[in-house]
Amino acid sequence: MIQLTTAGESHGKALIAIIEGLPSNLPIDLSQINRYLALRQSGYGRGGRQKIEKDQVEILSGVRNTLTLGSPLCL
């Protein structure tokens, strides 16, 4: 079972996502995640604020050499 936990708020220092239950050795493509985040900057969404935000994902734990470890993934 995969479980997602979030923390933080959009106007705070960061939004955190913790994903539990991912298998080990699952490839994670950081550039692909950032491409999806960039859709907001091109106006994809409900308001104009996303055009000034420069969202970038940072993997804090759970990945080594682009592969999941089997432990919780923190973004």
Per-residue pLDDT tens for 20-34?
999 999 999 999 999
- What does the pLDDT read at residue 14? 86
Does 49 score more than 90 pLDDT? no
Mean pLDDT of 43-55: 61
- Distance, CA of 73 to CA of 70 (rounded, Å): 8
The DSSP symbol for 27 reads: B
- What does the pLDDT read at residue 3? 98
Region of 51 (left: φ > 0; alpha: ψ -120 to 50; beta: rest) is alpha
